[in-house]
């Protein structure tokens, strides 16, 4: 049978996402700033949305917002992964949610280029989305350095997937150490190197060391003293946000748990699973966790908006992009003047404490702008910080008061329980903490979840399948025959645990 000639010609460009006749507010990013701004906007503009005079469109790469301060506890198994995230569609019920990635913004034309989950299937290229008001809040990504072996072997700690993958990986290394007859493999499996002494690195290390020490009691040939934990920090202090005194206490606390804290030291290489430090030390290690800071999202460089020397958007205290109309920003992506600071030219730190508070002013200013009312300026004095060092251990410097040990740890939990969005999540997290106090920890590694088709593919005769083998089921960062998957990014410290 002869097919008729296809006379349709090339497929036309896909139409832009359909919009109403009202003002469209495009929110780029579903993190702290994106979700909280959209949440407050849908409340402030309830009547305009109901009348079709306004529309809120959010474009986010994930269908959820991750509450990053809880990532260490999720990695340690104290909180279920599902309760660390907030589903955007449930919370933003009067907003339109599109799961995709904004690749470029041409604000002069009020357009954004978007790749969605469907564009690759359609083969039609990116979608062009038009808007009237732009809230650009893509967040940040890990700030990496050209260190040999880093991209091949290191693990990040900025996303929920990385946190859970790291938990599975740590337990899997203990399984390897327990079953191997090679002392070199055992030593490398039980050596864990964390790079970065900010919130992300210290809290992740504290929680995972706690979890691994507890887990060791269930291995007949592994004792807590067999595990080697190393914290590498390039400066002369850790946790600078809690002050020098509390930082020194945190170092003493970590060292009392046999954690090797190396200050003024850098990671120079981790090729071939050997961590080489700037002080000349060499550690065969199958685990290198990179938490050494963050940088603005690459999207900012693909816009026609003004950036500062650090690649962040130049903004005013009213959270508008400096010199640009109808463009707004806050959080990690924005360089916002800190008018509450006594230091000339100071900018708000890119942390969660400022980000969440900025969204209140941001949403109010957008609503005021649409209604022709004057705008407010953002001003907030930094009240302090809290940090967890593991179960029942912590440090805090809040309103000039310094706390350590159990009181600081309790304050850490109370503060973040009050800040996690929605009553649903607060109740679930509180219930899990309560149950954790009554029952034993979970010590199960679910590394095979990373590659769910591996076992079926093997049974179907297709070999081990992409991403994993049948036996053993390797985790995401320790494949049986090669280097681990390359991480995209790490709670960089943008998820700072502020008070």
Query: DSSP of 22-76, one letter per residue?
Result: SEEEEEE--SHHHHHHHHHHHHHTHHHHHTTSEEEEEEESSSEEE-GGGHHHHHH
pLDDT for the residue 438: 86
| pLDDT confidence band for 271 (50 / 70 / 90) | very high
pLDDT for the residue 498: 39
For the stretch 158-204, pLDDT in tens is 999 999 999 999 999 999 999 999 999 999 999 999 999 999 999 99
Q: What is the DSSP string of 207-249?
A: HHHHHHHHHGGG-TT--GGG-EEEEE-SSS-S-GGG-HHHHHH
In this prediction, residues 251-264 reach a mean pLDDT of 96
Calculate the CA 55 to chain-centre distance.
28
- The closest alpha carbon to 116, from 31, 55, 59, belongs to 59
Higher pLDDT, 391 or 479: 391
pLDDT for the residue 463: 56
Is the CA virtual torsion 402, 405, 411, 417 positive or negative?
positive
For the stretch 311-330, pLDDT in tens is 999 999 999 999 999 999 99
The answer to whether 440 and 465 are in contact (CB under 8 A) is no
In this prediction, residues 443-461 reach a mean pLDDT of 78
In the chain, the largest separation of any two C-alpha atoms, in whole Å, equals 84
Asked whether the predicted pLDDT for residue 470 surpasses 90, the reply is no
The answer to whether 317 and 337 are in contact (CB under 8 A) is yes
- The closest alpha carbon to 203, from 497, 498, 499, belongs to 497
Return the residue matching tokens 């973040």. 416
pLDDT for the residue 351: 80
Asked whether the predicted pLDDT for residue 398 surpasses 90, the reply is no
Instruction: Give how far Cα 30 sits from Cα of 59, 139, 165, 352, 460, Å.
Output: 7, 9, 22, 14, 39
pTM: 0.84
pLDDT for the residue 454: 80
Asked whether the predicted pLDDT for residue 18 surpasses 80, the reply is no
Is the CA virtual torsion 70, 73, 75, 81 positive or negative?
negative
The answer to whether 443 and 93 are in contact (CB under 8 A) is no
pLDDT for the residue 163: 94
pLDDT for the residue 136: 97
| CA 408-409-413 angle, 5° bins | 115
Average pLDDT, the chain: 87
Asked whether the predicted pLDDT for residue 2 surpasses 50, the reply is no
The answer to whether 355 and 491 are in contact (CB under 8 A) is no
Taking each helix axis from N to C end, the angle separating 352-370 and 32-44, rounded to the nearest 10 degrees, works out to 30
Collapsing DSSP states into helix, strand and coil, what is residue 367? Answer: helix
Long-range CB pairs of 448-454, under 8 A, 24+ apart, other chains included: 448/473, 449/168, 450/165, 450/168, 450/475, 450/476, 451/476
The answer to whether 476 and 168 are in contact (CB under 8 A) is yes
What residues are paired with 228 via a beta bridge? Answer: 191
Instruction: Please state, in angstroms and rounded to a whole number, the distance separating the CA atoms of residues 392 and 411.
Output: 11
Burial of 13 (0-12, 13-18, 19+ CB in 10 A): exposed
**Which run of H or of E encompasses 135?**
strand 133-136
The answer to whether 286 and 477 are in contact (CB under 8 A) is no
Instruction: Give how far Cα 59 sits from Cα of 18, 86, 403, 405, Å.
Output: 14, 15, 41, 41
| pLDDT confidence band for 22 (50 / 70 / 90) | confident
In this prediction, residues 212-229 reach a mean pLDDT of 95
Higher pLDDT, 454 or 91: 91
Asked whether the predicted pLDDT for residue 417 surpasses 70, the reply is yes
Residues in the chain: 499
The answer to whether 497 and 352 are in contact (CB under 8 A) is yes
pLDDT for the residue 53: 94
Asked whether the predicted pLDDT for residue 268 surpasses 60, the reply is yes
| pLDDT confidence band for 16 (50 / 70 / 90) | low
Instruction: Please state, in angstroms and rounded to a whole number, the distance separating the CA atoms of residues 476 and 215.
Output: 20
- The closest alpha carbon to 78, from 372, 362, 443, belongs to 443
Calculate the CA 267 to chain-centre distance.
22
The tokens describing 231, both together, are: 């914290």
For the stretch 127-166, pLDDT in tens is 999 999 999 999 888 888 999 999 999 999 999 999 999 9
The tokens describing 100, both together, are: 């995709």
Instruction: Please state, in angstroms and rounded to a whole number, the distance separating the CA atoms of residues 430 and 244.
Output: 32
In this prediction, residues 56-81 reach a mean pLDDT of 93
For the stretch 472-491, pLDDT in tens is 444 444 443 343 443 333 33
Q: Write the Ramachandran bin of 9: left for phi over 0, alpha for psi from -120 to 50, otherwise beta.
A: left
Asked whether the predicted pLDDT for residue 227 surpasses 70, the reply is yes
For the stretch 28-62, pLDDT in tens is 999 989 999 999 999 999 999 999 999 999 999 99
Return the residue matching tokens 């404490």. 353
Instruction: Please state, in angstroms and rounded to a whole number, the distance separating the CA atoms of residues 177 and 180.
Output: 6
The tokens describing 12, both together, are: 């036309």
Asked whether the predicted pLDDT for residue 63 surpasses 90, the reply is yes
The tokens describing 56, both together, are: 């809120």
């Amino acid at each position: 049978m002869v097919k008729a000639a296809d006379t349709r010609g090339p497929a036309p460009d896909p139409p832009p996402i359909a919009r109403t006749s009202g003002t469209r507010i495009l929110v780029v990013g579903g993190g702290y700033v994106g979700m909280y701004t959209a949440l407050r906007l849908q409340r402030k503009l309830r009547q305009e949305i109901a009348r079709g005079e306004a529309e809120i469109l959010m474009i986010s790469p994930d269908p959820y917002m991750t509450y990053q301060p809880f990532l260490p506890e999720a990695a340690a198994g104290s909180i279920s992964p599902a309760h660390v995230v907030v589903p955007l569609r449930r919370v933003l019920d009067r907003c339109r949610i599109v799961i995709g990635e904004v690749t470029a913004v041409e604000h002069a034309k009020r357009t954004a280029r978007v790749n969605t989950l469907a564009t690759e299937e359609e083969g039609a290229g990116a979608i062009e989305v038009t808007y009237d008001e732009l809230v650009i809040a893509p967040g940040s990504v890990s700030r990496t350095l050209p260190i040999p072996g880093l991209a091949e072997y290191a693990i990040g700690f900025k996303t929920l997937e990385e946190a859970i993958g790291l938990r599975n990986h740590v337990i899997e290394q203990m399984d390897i150490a327990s079953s191997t007859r090679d002392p070199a493999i055992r030593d490398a499996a039980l050596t864990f190197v964390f790079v970065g002494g900010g919130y992300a690195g210290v809290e992740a290390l504290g929680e995972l060391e706690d979890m691994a020490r507890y887990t060791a009691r269930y291995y007949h040939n592994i004792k807590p003293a067999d595990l080697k934990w190393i914290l590498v920090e390039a400066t002369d202090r850790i946790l600078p946000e809690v002050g020098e005194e509390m930082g020194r206490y945190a170092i003493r606390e970590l060292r009392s748990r046999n954690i090797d804290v190396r200050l003024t030291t850098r990671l120079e290489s981790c090729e071939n699973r050997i961590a080489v430090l700037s002080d000349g030390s060499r550690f065969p290690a199958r685990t290198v966790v990179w938490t050494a800071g963050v940088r603005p999202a690459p999207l900012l460089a693909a816009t026609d908006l003004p950036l500062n020397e650090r690649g962040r958007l130049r903004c005013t205290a009213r959270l508008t992009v400096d010199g640009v109309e109808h463009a707004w920003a806050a959080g990690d992506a924005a360089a916002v003047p800190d008018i509450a600071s006594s230091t000339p030219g100071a900018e708000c730190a890119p942390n969660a404490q400022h980000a969440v508070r900025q969204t209140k002013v941001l949403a109010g200013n957008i609503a005021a702008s649409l209604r022709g009312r004057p705008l407010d300026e953002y001003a907030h004095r930094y009240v302090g910080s809290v940090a967890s060092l593991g179960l029942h251990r912590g440090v805090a410097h809040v309103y000039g008061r310094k706390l350590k040990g159990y009181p600081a740890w309790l304050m850490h939990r109370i503060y973040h329980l009050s800040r996690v969005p929605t009553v649903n999540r607060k109740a679930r997290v509180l219930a899990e903490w309560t149950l954790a106090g009554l029952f034993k920890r979970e010590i199960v590694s679910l590394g095979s979840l990373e590659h769910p088709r591996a076992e079926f593919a093997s049974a179907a005769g297709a070999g081990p399948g992409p991403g994993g083998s049948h036996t053993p089921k390797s985790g995401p960062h320790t494949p049986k025959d090669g280097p681990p998957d390359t991480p995209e990014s790490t709670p960089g410290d943008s998820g700072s645990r502020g008070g």
